[in-house]
Structure 1
Amino acid sequence: MKLALVQHNVVFGDPDTNYEQVEALIIEAQKNADVIVLPELWTTGYDLTRLDEISDTQGETTKHFISDLAKAYKVHIVAGSIAKQTESGMYNTMLVYGPTGDLLHEYDKAHLFRLMDEEKYLHQGDKTASFSLGTVQAAGVICYDIRFPEFIRTHMINGQQMLFVVAEWPKPRLDHWRALLLSRAIENQCFVVACNRAGSDPANAFAGHSIIIGPWGEIIAEAGEEATILYGEVNLGHVDDVRSQIPVFQDRRPTIYDVQK
């Protein structure tokens, strides 16, 4: 599988410009990729106070936009996340599309990040995010979700081979970003494909460092801080090799694990 992670410098509060820029980046990325990944909130950035004005009602604009591009270039697109306005409120929603333009999965961010006031403007989701990319079993989560290993494990116990992470992760906690992603890859013996944004907004500088990690914890590709497209290639058979050597999933004892305390 050939991957392209679009480390976009999101324009704060300007969906029209972001759509234009991301379209050009997807057209470039599809030349060398089967799967394209976008960052979190790439249409609006963290302009949370204006989401009522600039969010996407039911995600319809973005859904048509990504569907058309996936179909035109016959690629899978893990389309980061967007601010989606619904009758019940605003959600930070991941979208995943297949090469025929079909919506494969839609996931609302489960853990809201209080340090960036998400809980004041967004509703939390209550579902997991497992899906298939053709024959590949995968899952996807959003940014702060990776700090909850028990949540990630619920995505990986049914044979999933890849974990996609989309983020707007701040630069001051870059070390946490890398350490958490490496840990999630090693403990779940899976590929981790994590796309972060580049650049800054009025309140934050972002870390970049989108990364592809193998099931041994090996770094396959990693970007720097600047806006770029990060490319990498993975062999999904490597997951089964690793899991056969150290049978973590067979050796689990969930009856003695109590994560409710």
Structure 2
Amino acid sequence: MSTLTVSLVQYDIQWLSPEHNFKKIERLTAQLQPCDLLLLPETFATGFALKEQTAEFADPALTFMRALAAQHNCVVAGSVLVSEGDKKANRFYWCWPPALNEETGRVEYYDKRHLFCLGHEGNYVSAGRDRKVFEIGDFKILPQVCYDLRFPVFQRNRNDYDVMVNVANWPAARRFAWDTLLRARAIENQCYVLANNRIGEDGYGTAHNGGTVALDYLGQSLLQVPDDQTGVITTTLSKEALVQFRTQFPAHLDADDFNLEC
């Protein structure tokens, strides 16, 4: 697969109302173009409900994702708050569609690594430890969640991925940082960046205005959902164009060598 077609969904997540959010996603993706990867925002089923009980919603959210993957014959990815000991994990699930003679496809996940100390996130959520890279066809993809975006060492491309994905509930008050850091990650890592954010006000009164975008390896926008609007964008990434750019401008050959310990 020399191309990767991706769809990103932006909407106002109804607080602690999974069924409402599932129906909204179904409506938005009813006429979805054929794609390889469908991205949903961080905590797409409940909103970023750190302090509330969300364990009962985790299994239905995963079941919904697996059904959506089967329906559209693509990988469906989005984060869910799941029980992890006496806390939660912000688990970024990747659900593959069923292969021939399978009822359900495989599921992998990445747990959000970086927790927002100013919001006391660590009081409710356990930090993930593993940096993971998933593969769809010829594309290697680094999954990240929201606040991870601020930590470039963890995201440093060691020639091990082609696309960085970040799903978020990133506040409107810090939108400038979101836009700037996404472009920086694309440029410094010579990779595509797919970023998926929500709109609307959450249960804590925090406003979000979107910024869902697909960027190329130059940090240039390929497509973006308009601010404060519900919508779906679909774009196709070229592996050939990425390899050609890296060959012509091989900045990665001058990068510092280091080991990452989590």
Distance 2:115 2:173 in 1: 19
For each residue in 1:12-32, what CA deviation from the matched residue of structure 2 results, as whole angstroms up to 9, or x when unmatched? 122221222223333333x34
Q: Provide the secondary structure at the position in 2 that maps to 1:47.
A: coil
Instruction: Give the Å deviation of 1:206.
Output: 0.6
8 Å Cα contact 1:163-1:192 kept in structure 2: yes
Q: C-alpha offsets along residues 167-199 of structure 1, whole Å, 9 cap, x if unaligned? A: 001111111111100000001100000000111
Tell me the residue number matched to 1:163. Answer: 164
Measure how far apart 1:88 and its partner are.
5.1
Q: Does 1:246 align with 2:261?
A: no
Which residue matches 1:190?
A: 191
CA distance in 2, matches of 1:253, 1:113: 28
Residues 56 and 129 of structure 1: CA distance in aligned 2, closer, same or farther (over 3 Å): farther
Q: Report the alpha carbon displacement of residue 56 of structure 1 after superposing the two structures with TM.
A: 4.5
Q: How far, CA to CA, are the matches of 2:28 and 2:119 in structure 1?
A: 27
Q: What residue is the counterpart of 1:109 in the other structure?
A: 112
Read off the aligned partner of 1:192 and give its amino acid letter: V
* Cα distance per residue 1:203-239 (max 9 Å; x no partner): 2111301010001111111122212112222212221
Q: Give the Cα separation in 1 of the matches to 2:237 and 2:120.
A: 36
Matched to 1:64, the amino acid is T
Quick one: structure 1 residues 25 and 163, their matched pair in 2 at CA, closer, same or farther if it must change by over 3 Å?
same
* SS class of match (1:254): coil
What's the TM-score once normalised by structure 2's chain length?
0.88
Superposed displacement of residue 44, structure 1? 1.1
Aligned equivalent of 2:97:
99
Which residue number corresponds to residue 101 of structure 2? none
Could you say which residue in structure 1 is the equivalent of 2:200? 199
User: What code does the residue aligned with 2:169 have?
Assistant: E
Contact 2:43 2:80 in 1 (8 A): yes
Q: Distance in 2 between matches of 1:8 and 1:55?
A: 23
Which amino acid in the other structure matches residue 38 of structure 1? L
| Structure-1 separation of matches of 2:189 and 2:31 | 32
- Identify the residue that residue 219 of structure 1 maps to in structure 2: 221
Residue identity (%):
28
Larger deviation: 167-176 or 241-250?
241-250
The corresponding residue for 2:71 is: 72
- Mapped partners of 1:104, 1:185: distance in 2: 27
Give the Cα–Cα distance (whole angstroms) in 2 for the partners of residues 24 and 130 of structure 1.
30
Q: Are the equivalent residues in 2 in contact too, given 1:215–1:238 (CA < 8 A)?
A: no
C-alpha separation between the residues in 2 aligned to 1:10 and 1:38? 11
Residues 2-81 of structure 1: pairs in structure 2 closer than 5 A: 2-29=5-32, 31-50=33-52, 52=53, 54-56=54-56, 59-78=58-77, 80-81=78-79
Letter in 2 for 1:200: E
Measured in 2, the distance between the counterparts of 1:198 and 1:240 equals 34
CA contact (8 A) 1:95 1:103 kept: no
Which residue of structure 2 lines up, in the alignment, with residue 144 of structure 1? 147
Greater per-residue helix proportion: 1
Whole-angstrom distance in 1 between the partners of 2:200 and 2:172: 10
For residue 128 of structure 1, give the secondary structure of its aligned residue in structure 2.
coil
Question: Higher relative contact order by CA 8 Å / sep ≥ 6: 1 or 2?
Answer: 2
Pairs aligned (count): 251
Q: CA RMSD in A?
A: 2.0
1:163–1:70 distance in 2 versus 1, CA, 3 Å: same
